[in-house]
């Protein structure tokens, strides 16, 4: 290569080096200067304009409202729990206050000298005439006029009113038949009273009358009145016996009413 050509090549290389140095100096940041945070928009990027949303032409839709289902809260009054066990009948305990007193007997049949006394008297128609089956309790009080008459009141208690009713009917049937202690061949017996009174749940008055036959002219008459009352689970039997005609029917009814009134 000649000298002229060599000079052209060196000149071209010098220009190129100078351009590279300029580019490097333009990319450097001065010491202590923060780099710019604002980006330079590109000339080639298209600009986009954000428009506000258009109002809707449709009517607004109402959001569904949740319907609260009312619940029943606890009541202030407790709900009674039905009992699974059947109800039991009321128990009527026997007490001495249910028995007639000597003064009450004397008031019902005055001027006879009646009073209460220890012990008991079995009536002429036997034990079956004073109590039924299934006795739950028993009380007895005896009476006398200290001459020719005695008697007693028998109280018996049963498990239920139905059992007391069965005992009452059994007692009345026994008194009506009165097969116990039948009179001998010289005497006879007949039922002179057989009626009911509206006392308690049921009351029956029955009276047996014993009398001598012609074959026994020396014997006396005898009277055996009964008053049977049922009330609830209790049965009362008042049974007397005496020589002669016995206590008058009107006085006996007064005594029966008094005995029935003392039952609970």
Q: Which of 198, 186, 207 is nearest to 230 (CA)?
A: 198
The whole-angstrom separation of Cα 201 and Cα 167 is 13
pLDDT of residue 36: 42
Tens-digit pLDDT string for the chain (264 aa): 444 444 454 444 444 444 433 333 344 444 433 444 444 444 444 444 445 555 554 544 444 444 444 555 555 556 555 555 555 555 578 999 999 999 999 999 999 999 999 888 789 999 999 999 999 999 999 999 998 899 999 999 999 999 999 999 999 999 999 988 778 888 899 999 999 999 999 999 999 999 999 888 778 899 999 999 999 999 999 999 999 888 999 999 999 999 999 998
Q: What 3-state DSSP class applies to 185?
A: coil
pTM of the complete model beyond 0.85: no
pLDDT of residue 19: 45
The whole-angstrom separation of Cα 14 and Cα 7 is 11
25 backbone dihedrals φ, ψ, rounded to 5°: -65, -35
Q: Which long-range contacts (CB under 8 A, 24 or more apart) does 247-253 make?
A: 247/109, 247/112, 247/149, 247/223, 248/109, 249/193, 249/207, 251/108, 251/109, 252/109, 252/205, 252/207, 252/225, 252/227, 253/197, 253/205
Q: Dump strand ranges (E) for the chain.
A: 115-117, 137-144, 149-157, 187-197, 202-212, 222-231, 234-243
pLDDT of residue 51: 52
CB-side exposure of 62: number of CA atoms within 13 Å? 3
The whole-angstrom separation of Cα 196 and Cα 166 is 17
For 34, the token pair is: 């923060």
């Amino acid at each position: 290569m000649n000298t002229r050509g060599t000079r052209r090549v060196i000149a071209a290389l010098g220009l190129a080096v100078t351009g590279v140095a300029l580019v490097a100096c333009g990319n450097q940041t001065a010491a202590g200067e923060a780099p710019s945070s604002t980006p330079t928009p590109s000339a080639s990027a298209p600009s986009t304009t954000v428009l506000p949303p258009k109002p809707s032409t449709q009517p607004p839709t109402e959001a569904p409202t949740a319907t609260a289902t009312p619940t029943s809260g606890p009541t202030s009054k407790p709900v009674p729990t039905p009992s699974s066990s059947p109800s039991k009948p009321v128990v009527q305990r026997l007490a001495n206050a249910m028995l007639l007193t000597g003064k009450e007997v004397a008031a019902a049949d005055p001027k006879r000298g009646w009073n209460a006394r220890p012990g008991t008297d079995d009536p002429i128609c036997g034990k079956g005439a004073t109590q039924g089956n299934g006795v739950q309790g028993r009380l007895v009080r005896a009476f006398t006029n200290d001459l020719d008459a005695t008697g007693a009141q028998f109280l018996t208690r049963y498990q239920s009113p139905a059992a007391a009713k069965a005992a009452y009917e059994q007692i009345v049937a026994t008194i009506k038949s009165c097969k116990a202690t039948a009179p001998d061949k010289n005497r006879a017996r007949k039922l002179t009273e057989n009626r009911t009174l509206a006392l308690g749940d049921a009351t029956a008055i029955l009276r047996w009358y014993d009398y001598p036959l012609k074959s026994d002219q020396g014997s006396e008459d005898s009277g055996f009145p009964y008053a049977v009352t049922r009330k609830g689970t209790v049965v009362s039997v008042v049974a007397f016996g005496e020589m002669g005609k016995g206590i008058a029917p009107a006085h006996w009814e007064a005594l029966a009413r008094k005995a029935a009134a003392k039952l609970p």
